Structure 1
């Protein structure tokens, strides 16, 4: 398994088959990652998600990527820190369920943002450590996935993720 950490925009991961959307429960255009993905994918993405919503914290669903350079968007609803409990289990479930969808759809590469760390208030370092630990443990159960990329937008988030991924 190849792991990467890149500094950039999740919408610009041209060689990645599936990107992960840090979605809201209604799977609609929102702020942050969800808003950026919906704007880049075009209005067809929101139409495609209507029948799949609402989802609960920890759940993941998959759609086409439409105007994005990817084949799929995997929509995960991360927990709101301090509200959706147990937040660590729900956040881990986001990553596991997204990975399980890659197996089901024979996806070979996936890119994750830092789920729940923005408006949902999950402490960044704690979320990062949990994400990496969960992904590395769960990926052993998969046969199709060959590459996992973590995409971070800010310099400080990228630096922390890169260090955590290499430990």
Structure 2
């Protein structure tokens, strides 16, 4: 979704207020290993500051992921406030480029989600995960192959203390 900034760039407006709803595409969902996502509400302001523009915005939306241990669906809410510098020429390391008096909000939202996504997504802090042998969700109880789950490389250590 592109924001038209020509009136702010030329000085006809001191700021541009906006409110949008954006849908994340399947490509991005697969990149972040998400199962699905709601539409994201974005509202913000673009203001002229010195030679550039400042984009201030808040966004809110939900994404569903699979738990990293047991694969149960986990719904996360992304609700954050951010600010970015926009540049009318080639963007520096910290600024977003303005091309033809427009800025694309989708890569900015995707970057924000990546920055705020937890490194590990768990259904609960004490998630037991899946049995590596039979695949049973160990949060629902112990499986029948619990005693057989000794790593063969460590088999010699099993009887070390006479148990």
Superposition TM-score, scaled by structure 2 size: 0.23
Identify the structure with bigger relative contact order (alpha carbons < 8 Å, sequence gap 6+). 1
Greater Rg by CA: 2
